[in-house]
Structure 1
Amino acid sequence: MRKKSTANRQVKATNNKSANGFIRIISGQFRGRKLPVKDVQGLRPTTDRIKETVFNWLMQDTRGAAVLDCFAGSGGLGFEALSRFAQRATFFELDKGAALQLKENISTLKLENAVIKQDNSLSLLANNAQNEQFDLVFVDPPFRQNIAEKTCFLLEENNWLTAQALIYVEVESELNSLNIPDNWMLLKEKTAGQVICRLYQREAN
């Protein structure tokens, strides 16, 4: 999980990144598969332990879901969801090298239901989603850049979410408060080391 020292860098790894630069899918149809991770300065991995917790929370909700991984980095969360039979996944990633690696890993897994958009996530979310709503959204941005809160409100305001969408938000543990849309209900919360993990459910207005 986390990242960077520069505000325009949105790369993130979402699993244990070993010295040889791989992430591992922990369950589902691609269980045990290792995928290369682009070596990008400041890239900080999410542990398998946290990812296992998150997908235990989502055990009944991943299959058939339309998924958005807002700050994809290694794509660990999005690939894990696809492995667990999500209907489709869209990856937002700013870094060109990381986006190219995502594309290669999609090809390796022979996925036809994954899309990459290489751009600033906040810029993408500032547009109205129109007919592209998501059931499950991962918000795991760079730490200490005041991005998570902005992302949450853009998701709500610009029609990116289905009526009862689930939103997973991961922030630094020292963040004392996080404002979220009024119609998001906190379902689960866990602090693990330097991170706070929260799962919200949207209630349509």
Structure 2
Amino acid sequence: MKKRVERKSGRKHSSNQTGGSLRIIGGDFRGRKLPVLSAEGLRPTSDRVRETLFNWLQFDIAGADCLDVFAGTGALGLEALSRGANSVFFLELNKHNAQQIQQNLITLKVSDADVIHGDSLQWLQQAPPKVFDVIFLDPPFHQGLMQPAVELLFQNHYIKTDQAWLYLEQEKALDWPKLPEGWGCYREKTTSEVRYGIFKYTGSDA
């Protein structure tokens, strides 16, 4: 099992507390329940939202290299691995959350994953370890992290422009962040609190 715990990555964070459980929705680990910590501000992507998201990505997630920015519980990256993703990098600021993601990967006997403990915006300033097919971007609410994270992903070439998917999850009331020319929203939905969607490159007329 690969393990990287370094630097500082960004997400919902606070004290280390016993929490609840995370249920894998589909794929090889469907129905598995994994422990997650309870931390102030931690807002895991709900089962319903994850189910919708991975229905959207059902033909693209198998074999994909994924990046789970502001990973929190790791729900998005773990779901991707269950559904056949080739690899996932998890970026997480909270030390205890990062350790729990690592433990859950061990429980699932997953080796094609890296957990990076550190600040996501700092980590994204460096050259990427690889270019990613699917990027999950679900920052903590009310901290203004979405736009700078998006800018770093594109500036430092983390995304396969012509074929990658970018998933964004944010406060319902906010406009989508500004993306480079040619990128547009492919599908989106809202819940009572959350706006979420997948984005792709469609050309200069998007």
TM-score using structure 1 length: 0.87
Which residue matches 1:159? 157
CA distance 1:82–1:146, change in 2 (3 Å): same
CA distance 1:204–1:106, change in 2 (3 Å): farther
1:123 pairs with 2:122: yes
Identity in percent? 42
Q: Is the 8 A contact 1:38 1:101 kept in 2?
A: yes
Deviates more, 1:36-45 or 1:155-164: 36-45
Q: Secondary structure at the match of 2:160?
A: strand
Q: Which amino acid aligns with 1:135?
A: D
Which residue matches 1:57? 56
Q: Please give the alpha-carbon distance, in whole angstroms, between the structure 2 residues aligned to 1:193 and 1:157.
A: 33
Which residue matches 2:3? none
- Structure 1 residue 46: Cα displacement: 2.3
Q: Secondary structure at the match of 2:11?
A: coil
Alignment of 1:1-205 (within 5 A): 10-11=11-12, 21-129=20-128, 132-163=130-161, 164-202=163-201
What is the alpha-carbon root mean square deviation over aligned residues?
1.9
Q: Secondary structure at the match of 2:196?
A: strand
1:147-172 superposed Cα distances (whole Å, 9 cap, x missing partner): 11111111111011113210000010
- Structure 1 residue 20: Cα displacement: 5.5
Q: Secondary structure at the match of 1:170?
A: strand
Q: Is the 8 A contact 1:183 1:202 kept in 2?
A: yes
Q: Is the 8 A contact 1:189 1:199 kept in 2?
A: yes
CA distance 1:151–1:203, change in 2 (3 Å): farther
- Structure 1 residue 192: Cα displacement: 1.2
Q: Is the 8 A contact 1:168 1:200 kept in 2?
A: yes
1:85-109 superposed Cα distances (whole Å, 9 cap, x missing partner): 0000000001000000011001000
TM-score using structure 2 length: 0.87
Q: Please give the alpha-carbon distance, in whole angstroms, between the structure 1 residues aligned to 2:160 and 2:140.
A: 25
Q: Which amino acid aligns with 1:58?
A: L
Q: Which amino acid aligns with 2:28?
A: Q
- Structure 1 residue 36: Cα displacement: 0.6
Q: Which amino acid aligns with 2:45?
A: T
Structure with larger RCO (C-alpha < 8 A, sep 6+)? 2
Q: Is the 8 A contact 1:11 1:98 kept in 2?
A: no
Q: Please give the alpha-carbon distance, in whole angstroms, between the structure 2 residues aligned to 1:102 and 1:48.
A: 17
- Structure 1 residue 31: Cα displacement: 0.3
Q: Is the 8 A contact 2:67 2:89 kept in 1?
A: yes
Structure 2 unaligned segments of length 5 or more: list them.
1-8
Q: Which amino acid aligns with 1:11?
A: K
Q: Please give the alpha-carbon distance, in whole angstroms, between the structure 1 residues aligned to 2:19 and 2:158.
A: 36
Kindly tell me the number of residue pairs found equivalent between the two proteins: 191
- Structure 1 residue 9: Cα displacement: 5.9
Q: Is the 8 A contact 1:152 1:181 kept in 2?
A: no
Which residue matches 1:3? none
1:95-151 superposed Cα distances (whole Å, 9 cap, x missing partner): 00000001100100010101001110000111122x511000000000111111111
